[in-house]
Amino acid sequence: MNGGETMSPRARFLDAAARGELAFQRGANGEAVFPPRLVAPAGVSEPLEWARSDGLGAVHSVTLVHPRGEPVFALALVDLDEGFRMMARVDADDPATVAIGTRVRVGFRALDPDGPPLPIFTLAEGEA
């Protein structure tokens, strides 16, 4: 990852996203850590190493968001295959078809013209 030690964890995450990569961290025991942070969970003083996710996962929970004047979209907690969970939008032709257990794949795009690219999932048809 670019800029290594001088960037904040959030900046490193967004830098990876701008390159189309879903970054996360692993503790010394190999356990996935997300969201990115400076210190391991529970303040354990162990180094956190950066890793790149393949971007495949399954929907853990989902809700439909009905923003005023905009199309409905699915917002989900996604369990990534590497062992971490994150919240993100899931784009689908019919958001109501996004269900618990649905396999998804990450992509990246900005949600507003001045914003950074963010992880946005789509249905990963045919992926188990």
Q: In this structure, what CATH number is given to the domain that contains residue 113?
A: 2.40.50.840
Position 93 in a domain? yes
Per-residue pLDDT, 21: 98
Q: Which residue has better confidence, 128 or 15?
A: 15
Q: Is residue 128 part of a domain?
A: no
- Residue 74, domain member (yes or no): yes
Q: Is the peptide bond before 36 cis (omega within 30 degrees of 0)?
A: no
Q: Supply the pLDDT for residue 26.
A: 95
pLDDT band at 114 (very low <50, low <70, confident <90, very high): very high
pLDDT value for 42:
72
Parent domain of 77 = 4-123
Burial 42-66 (b: 16+ CB within 10 A, else e): eeeeeebebbebebbbbbeebeeee
Domain count, the chain: 1
> Does a structural domain hold residue 78?
yes
| Strand 85-91 relative to strand 103-110, pairing | unpaired
Domain membership flag for residue 102: yes
Q: Give residue 125's pLDDT.
A: 78
pTM: 0.89
Give the tens place of pLDDT for each residue, 39-54: 888 766 778 999 999 9
**Domain-embedded: residue 46:** yes
Question: What's the rounded mean pLDDT across residues 99-116?
Answer: 95
Whether pLDDT at 126 is above 70: no
Tell whether 118 is covered by a domain.
yes
Q: Decide if 55 is inside a domain.
A: yes
pLDDT band at 1 (very low <50, low <70, confident <90, very high): very low
